[in-house]
Structure 1
Amino acid sequence: MRISTFNRRYFLFTREFGSGEKMSLMMGRRPFVQFFCCFLCALATLFLLLIDSEFMPWQFRLSSSTAPLKFSGWDLLNSTEHRPECGRVFSKDSEYIAKISRKRLTFEDPIWLEMDCAEGIRKRNFFPPEGDTEDAEFPLAQARIVYKDYVFLEKELASSYSPLNWYCYSIDHKANSLFRLRVKLLSACLPNVIVSPYEFVVDGGGHNITRAHLDCLRLLTVPEKRWKYVALLQNHDVAIKTNREMGQIYRWLNGANDVEVTWLPGGRVNESMDWTFETIRMFRNANRNFLNTGGFPPKLVFSKGYVESSLSRKMAEFMLNDLDLTETVRRLESGGFGIDEILIPSLHASDAIGAPGGFTRECIERKEGIRVQHITRVSIWYDVKKCGSGHMRHAICIFGLEDLGDKLAAWPHLFANKLLPEFDFGALLCWWEEMHRRAHFESRERSLGRLNRAIYADLPHVRFQKFATELKKFNEAQQGTKDGIPFRKALAFFNCSTDERNMN
């Protein structure tokens, strides 16, 4: 131990210069001698302490402001009377969960909330001031549309926060002034949290969600903001992987965008309109709008997928710098329902566009109705039997304590939707406490050990990127010969299926 080493050094010093008869003889009846000896002892003590502090393990020298603290979310409650025992929840104690769920904790933002950076925001949460080396090598970003439940958003940010990441909030114009003020104060407190100056009116039909996300992407893709992947999110999406775990999963995607792709239901887009690249001015470089595809002018072919998705940095920059989406977005926004689920999946899966990290229409056209799943977000739709809490809203499961141990803790996805403070705040607090433990007190080996690399490597869009890269290398090596394989011909052998067992 370091303390015993110091004691040994101090003992040797006093034995040589200041103990027993030698010390008595030195002092005699002269006060200045006594003072001088005390001064030497104090100086030696200080010197040895400095040596020890120089080599003392860093975790014992962290100040209280940087050391991970215990999870403080429970301080938001007025009483511990109905506080759930989270350990029993995660151990799937069904009798206990059934009992505690009869009287769920609920929460709504208080009118008074301390918003001073040091005494409020940072006191309620632990935001590490320095990122790990692994974070520095692979920073991430989030673009989230928000409109209510500020305390939820603050806690959610802290649950997977890294000071090396970037977080953009686009505030729905319908949000109240107090919520808007609090989000802006959060941004002022944390330098890597930005709030868009533009506000869009978002509705249940999906109007302006695409515009809000594109606006955040513009703010995030400036050169000084470094990140590898960005997650497009909505208000009540909850992270179910820590920042460390997310970074590893994104590494395994190896540049592929993570976007759900399936057939677009009829009626969402007026497909009788001219959607050729020339007409909608798809590429800023006009020459690319006239490149023939099989003898026909290229046109946008539509796909559908959830709003929540993950884009590589290259894909985000491609969308903003190479494409001109003004006319395309204007047309899509004239639709009535689900219009937020069209642009990103269509760009991602259009072979004529050739998006970085993109996919292919081939898998959708083989069999109408096929769904290429993604891992950015998971939800339970329509099936109340699969919803542990038994509570459905607008056909989607609202997760509760019953869903933590066997779903959120086990799913391979990055985010889950949705958990609401107005329904089961106890479930949220238990989950955030678990995330805090995993992020700050769990070893890297244990944290990453719960991830199954095969699940992510087997995603069709990840395999497609590998397939396309290897085919390109092969054909380049065969230049000047007749052994090259046309892309469309090779694509016929690509396996589009997803192992459903890995996703649920």
Structure 2
Amino acid sequence: MSLLKKSRLLLLKLTVVLGSLWILPLLIRPQTGWDPTYTLRYSWLEYTDADSSPEKACNCTAIMRGEREAIDQAKILSITKDFRKSVHIPDEYYINATQDCRKFKISRKYLTFPLSQEEEDFPLAYSMVVHHKVQNFERLLRAIYAPQNIYCVHVDKKAKASVVSAITAITSCFPNVFMVNQSLTVIYGAWPRVQADLNCMADLYNSTTKWKYFMNLCGQDFPLKTNLEIVRMLRWLKGKNSLESEKLPEEKKWRVKISHQIVDGKIQGTGRAKEQPPFNLPILVGNAYIVVNRGYIRSVLEDKRIHALIEWAKDTYSPDEFLWATIQRIPGVPGSTWPNHKYDVTDINAIARLVKWQWHEGPQGSLGAVYPACHGNHVRQICVYGAGDLQWMLEQHHLFANKFDIDKDPIAVYCLEKYLRQKALAPLHKMY
């Protein structure tokens, strides 16, 4: 019997044993096309209004269609003080709820079995770098969680004690989710941001799970695709990587030409000129987020050229915005492309991350705009998405989007996670 069949049989037995009262109304409710086998096994995994979530006051279906009235209502609801208070889950909830991991996973509706053989045969690896907003992290983990995948979590050493305790408690409930062996104090624009991912890369690569692709996330990311869709898009890459990698513009060359250091928790220039990159490697620009195969990670951990580049990059400014992009263009790295500018890839073309930069936004129909105006707010010139951005986002090919903030617009996350869960379970409706 395959692992998938065993998992489903175990889930069926667990559901029967639990005899949860909140499932019983579903079992006795007649409806068109209703199948008791499906309901018994899988209906409890669906996100429905019966879950008593405060966000159910909004109309996600209408929001996803881009209906102005529904989007405006969601926007008004999101700024209501009482509503924002009602949807916030304090760190202490996770610390207490995870005392009983079985109950926590059931109540939070985690997918504890592979939804298809195709997904089971194509495990993925994730690095998750987090420093606050536990609720954001937990909902992201729930959205991407699958038992065949593996997840390394790096919590910033300067995070609040309640954040560390809550995330540690959450990860302890899953055999394939773990805290990084060595955590760091992450400083924006400085080397530790890269080292946090490197530490997770090493831990993931040395794990027993033989995953196919690696993706790195932060706590304010959220998927735009189901796990099955992600798997299929990665298989379509046929071993190639997908990440932003372009020619370094003149206005950013100071970042790699002047030595920098960390002083009192901030990065600043020393005024000293840096030597040329090792092996005359051309420095490319990109961003911190990547979709790369297992061989790419092996090269990062073992290739002497890359080790030399890493040492050279440690005193640069914002090395996460050029290191991965440069490695992607080093000949011989699995899944890489040639350094010629013909192979340049922008963040729009890569599938790694969808980000709305404020200076690229514009009115709908404007030929000069890269994407429509943000429906949420901006933090460091990046759009923090609102519910009104969802229709546009789901039309894009990217696997993940950044940024989301439940404290600012919980409805955007609620509608997106509900949409993805319904889509993920749709094949099971057909099967049963």
Q: What TM-score, normalized to structure 1?
A: 0.65
Could you tell me whether the CA contact under 8 Å between 2:246 and 2:285 is conserved in 1?
yes
For residues 215 and 101 of structure 1, the distance between their equivalents in structure 2, rounded to whole angstroms, comes to 39
1:93 equivalent to 2:73? Answer no
Give 1:91's aligned amino acid.
Answer: R
TM-superposed deviation, 1:160: 2.7
TM-score norm. by structure 2 comes to 0.76
Aligned to 1:70: 46
**What displacement does 1:232 show?**
1.6
Matching of residues 430-469 of structure 1 within 5 Å: 430-442=415-427
- For 1:172, the aligned partner's letter is D
- How far the C-alpha of 1:322 sits from its partner, in A, is 2.9
Residue correspondence of structure 1 range 77-476 to structure 2 within 5 A: 77=53, 79=54, 83-104=57-78, 106=84, 107-113=87-93, 114-116=97-99, 117-222=101-206, 224-264=208-248, 265-270=252-257, 273-275=274-276, 277=278, 298-323=279-304, 325-336=306-317, 338-351=318-331, 354-363=332-341, 373-382=349-358, 383-385=360-362, 386-405=372-391, 407-442=392-427
Tell me the SS of whatever aligns to 2:127: strand
Distance 1:193 1:94 in 2: 40
- Equivalence map 1:46-61=2 (5 Å): none
Q: Alpha-carbon deviation of 1:219?
A: 0.8
Query: How many residues are treated as equivalent by the alignment?
Result: 360
For residues 429 and 398 of structure 2, the distance between their equivalents in structure 1, rounded to whole angstroms, comes to: 19
In the TM superposition, residue 302 of structure 1 has moved relative to its aligned partner by 0.7
Give the whole-Å Cα distance in 2 for the aligned partners of 1:432 and 1:185. 22
Unaligned runs of 5+ in 1: 1-58, 278-297, 447-504
Compute the RMSD of aligned alpha carbons: 2.9
Structure-2 change in CA distance of 1:276 and 1:266 (3 Å)? closer
* 8 Å CA contact 2:295, 2:334 repeated in 1: yes
TM superposition outliers: structure 1 runs of 4+ over 4 Å:
59-68, 72-77, 271-277, 324-327, 369-372, 442-446
TM-superposed CA distance for 1:108, in Å, is 4.0
Report the CA distance between 1:94 and its aligned residue.
Answer: 1.1
Deviation (angstroms), 1:388: 3.8
- Partner letter of residue 230 of structure 1? F
Q: What is the CA–CA distance in structure 1 between the aligned matches of 2:383 and 2:427, rounded to whole Å?
A: 30
Q: Whole-Å Cα distance in 2 between the matches of residues 343 and 444 of structure 1?
A: 44
Is the contact between residue 89 and residue 404 of structure 1 (CA under 8 Å) also seen in structure 2? yes
Q: Does the CA contact (< 8 Å) of 1:147 and 1:235 recur in 2? A: yes
Q: Does the CA contact (< 8 Å) of 1:364 and 1:371 recur in 2?
A: no
Greater gyration radius: 1
Q: CA deviation at 1:330?
A: 3.7
Structure 2 Cα separation of the partners of residues 97 and 371 of structure 1: 27
Aligned to 1:255, what secondary structure does the other structure show? coil
CA-CA distance at 1:421 after TM superposition: 0.7
> Matched residues in 1 for 2:373 and 2:286: separation?
22
Decide whether aligned partners of structure 1 residues 300 and 321 sit closer, same or farther in structure 2, where only a CA change above 3 A counts.
same
Distance in structure 2 (CA, Å) of the matches to 1:174 and 1:276: 32
Q: CA–CA distance in 2 between the matches of 1:418 and 1:84?
A: 21
Moved more, 172-181 or 107-116: 107-116
Tell me: higher relative CO, structure 1 or 2? Use CA pairs within 8 A at least 6 residues apart. 2
Structure 2 SS opposite 1:144: strand
Paired residue secondary structure (1:423): coil
Q: Which has the higher strand share?
A: 2
Per-residue CA deviation, residues 267-291 of structure 1 (Å, 9 max, x unaligned), is 01128644464xxxxxxxxxxxxxx
